[in-house]
Structure 1
Amino acid sequence: MTASASPIPLRRLALLLGGLAMFGPFSIDTIFPAFPQMGAQLGADKLAMQQTISVYLIAYAVTSVVHGPLSDAIGRRRVILGGLAVFALASVGCALAPDLATLLAFRALQGLSAGVGLIVGRAVIRDVLDGDDAQRLMSQVSMIFGVAPAIAPIIGGWIIGWSRWPMIFWFLVAFSLALLVATWKVLPETHPPEARLVLRPRRLARDYVAILLNPRFQRLAAAAAFNFGALFLYIASAPAYVLDLLRLDERQFGWFFVPTIGGMVLGAWVSGRAAGRISGARLVSIGFAVSAVAALFNVAYNLSVDALALPWAVLPMMLNAFGIALVFPILTLAVLDMYPRQRGSASSLQAFTALVSNALIAGLLSPWISGSGLWLAVAAGLFTAVGWAFWRWESVVSRG
């Protein structure tokens, strides 16, 4: 299907797919301002509250390998609608949770369903468009998706200002139901029956092994995962970074998230404008160079001060997010283009590698180093360097 054959206007499609990609990050970032209140009511310390993120991400990662192939077999639309319905029910469970164990169980159920918007949405983009047009649409979706981590903690802070933490999950219920209705009314099926694959577990496992063992997939997926990991480390550490290191309160998460996600949105806009004018490979190299400058500035700043202060403490994250947004659409489309008949599976496996990385960051690395601005800066810089090394490896192999 091409742009001219698409039954839905591309701007409307971008808004819908962006919204679908947002509800996953919303379920992470909206609750950050509520951590102190939730911990006090549920009898959980900071480390225990951090598990509300890692449990969600682990569940997200486990089922990310299912969403894509399922959409290859039964269609994109059905999978998205089913995932939204499950997510809404899981959010109801979180809102009514009487203790931490129950909350973690329903957080896991949220994670099991949250990947449908982002993972299947990527396959929808590649179903509809090719080449530079696909890059432009991917960039538009990234711009909308990038707004979520910026406004989610602000919304959470507002809600905490006039209500209790369960109201955040009732907000997620309303948001997911609104997306369900919009998907039902607006999104056509972009993967027709004649293009679908029969879902056979043995063949699916064989296909997954083949994709995972493909050296090019490994290089591209690793470059994307480590590149984003530099930013996700700060997102996962946001409660400690904002409340303890920057010494702000629960309603001031925007001082961290707005500049950071502003950089991501601007980078996604530049990526879309550059489509067809600058080669994808060159754009990725520029993105990594920008992130490297951000990493060096971040380490230097943390070495030079005794206490972090605005705006200098958040400027490196803004610059790093800009670089990441230049890189992300190119690497994602490169992975999808490797498997034109298995785009759902390819998207799932790319998401799986990133989610496993993010879960480890949130569950292990972030609690260990989030009390130190310098350690966060050094670790983020190392993530950027490793991501660039994998991209450099891919560039050398593709030229040779």
Structure 2
Amino acid sequence: MPQHSRWLATLLAALSAIGPFSIDTYLPAFPAMGAALGASPLQVQQTLTAYMLTFAFMTLWHGALSDRYGRRGPLVLAMGLFAFASLLCAFAPSIEWLWAGRALQGMSAGAGMVVGRAMVRDLYDGAQAQRLMSRVMLIFALAPAVAPLVGGVLLAVAGWRAVFFFLAAFGGALGWLSWRYLPETLPPAARQPLNAASLARGYRAVLGSGAFLLLGMALALNFNGFFVYVLSAPVFVMDHLGLGELDFGWLFVPAVAGMMMGAWVSGRVAGHWSARRSICAGFALMLGAALLNVVHAGLMPATVPGSVLPIALYTFGMGLAMPSLTLLALDLFPQRRGMAASCQSFLQVGTNALTAAFIAPLVWPLPVTLALAMSAFCALGLLAFVLWARRQPAG
């Protein structure tokens, strides 16, 4: 891959990673935030729900805005808003103010993920697009491993508010880098009008497409099989595994290593394997890992490394399948890639938000219920992909 493409992949990955960074960095600080703000564990958990709900809602709009005004400008503005929201969280005097700051973070953090996907397809086709998407995902995958370690160190050294000061600096830096170095990949002649009638037609076409919905849900559900562990990380790491607030790496490092390896393999097989073959291989790995996880959790106590190795195998399969699933969905709407990326992200993050609000608190009390949740999400994602494949011609 040319040097400029590698640099672009790094910046796009960092912009995409600010969303998961905003989640994983502050997970170790949950107990400290609750104690400082006089909030219950459920009230602290609701800061995550507030973030996920606004994140999901705004993903529907980031792409439409980028289809109208170009890719670069909306990204710069979103990163500036994210930096401001992070400062609001850092100075929050009560849990209600923290909810507000987290909601504002969610409104802005998704721009990088949505617009970045559209930029990849603006620039490249076919195997080149899969290679760049895989490289973006490979770098992006570092966020869940690095973020809780950074959060744990900041918590130990300077307290929970330092986590949000760090996020403010991160957002500000990405905003400046985007303004200074990011190319504009959508020429004015290719931009779409931003009016109610045009938007209604666009969203109706995208969200009314059965093929798009099936691909989007396949992507969202298989990711959610891993994300349920992200949401449950404080309980899984500190209660089930019996580790400390600085030990989140025992969960995230193997999981991220698996995701990075899967993304690397996806890039290597681009142009040699069909998209279907990559996706089927990914689902085979995910399903095997999920079943192994259920067996281990049901028969053996939660331990390191036994309880985290199936998660790493699952994320390997996920990393192999995700780039091809993403590109297949975006290719359905070449004239509205931004809107398609928005709707794809909305399905993913909306599923994540529902899991954060309702499912994760139900399944995190026991390792075996967490493992069953992973298996259920994987099975539903596979069903969505199979239903999509049955609608397509062979090849």
Range of TM-score over shorter length: over 0.9
* 2:368 corresponds to 1:374: yes
Q: Map 1:238-317 to 2 at 5 A.
A: 238-305=233-300, 307-317=301-311
2:78 alignment partner in structure 1? 83
**Higher mean C-alpha displacement, 107-116 vs 194-203:** 194-203
Question: What is the letter of the counterpart of residue 72 of structure 2?
Answer: R
Percent identity for Structure 1 against Structure 2: 45
Offset from partner CA, 1:219-265 (integer Å, 9 cap, x none)? 10111111111001111111111111111110000011000011001
**TM-score, with length taken from structure 2:** 0.98
2:380 alignment partner in structure 1? 386
Question: What is the letter of the counterpart of residue 389 of structure 2?
Answer: S
* 2:79 corresponds to 1:101: no
Offset from partner CA, 1:304-357 (integer Å, 9 cap, x none)? 12x301000000110000011111111110111111110000000010011110
Shift of 1:206: 2.4
1:122 alignment partner in structure 2? 117
Helix, strand or coil at the partner of 1:312: coil
Shift of 1:46: 2.0
Aligned partners of 2:317 and 2:338: how far apart in 1? 26
1:347 alignment partner in structure 2? 341
Shift of 1:205: 1.8
Helix, strand or coil at the partner of 1:342: helix
User: How many residue pairs were aligned?
Assistant: 394
* 2:148 corresponds to 1:164: no
Helix, strand or coil at the partner of 1:338: coil
Shift of 1:369: 1.5
Helix, strand or coil at the partner of 2:331: helix
Aligned partners of 1:124 and 1:308: how far apart in 2? 42
Provide structure 1 residue ranges, at least 5 long, that are not aligned to the other structure.
Answer: none
Q: 1:47·1:367 contact (CA, 8 Å) conserved in 2?
A: no
Q: 1:50·1:367 contact (CA, 8 Å) conserved in 2?
A: no
Aligned partners of 1:244 and 1:373: how far apart in 2? 10
Question: What is the letter of the counterpart of residue 394 of structure 1?
Answer: W
State which of 322, 333, 342 in structure 2 corresponds to 1:328.
322
Offset from partner CA, 1:343-393 (integer Å, 9 cap, x none)? 000000010011110001111111111111000101110110110011111
Helix, strand or coil at the partner of 1:341: helix
Shift of 1:177: 1.2
Question: What is the letter of the counterpart of residue 307 of structure 2?
Answer: A
State which of 351, 355, 378 in structure 2 corresponds to 1:357.
351
RMSD: 1.1
1:40 alignment partner in structure 2? 35
1:176 alignment partner in structure 2? 171
Aligned partners of 1:132 and 1:118: how far apart in 2? 20
Provide structure 2 residue ranges, at least 5 long, that are not aligned to the other structure.
Answer: none
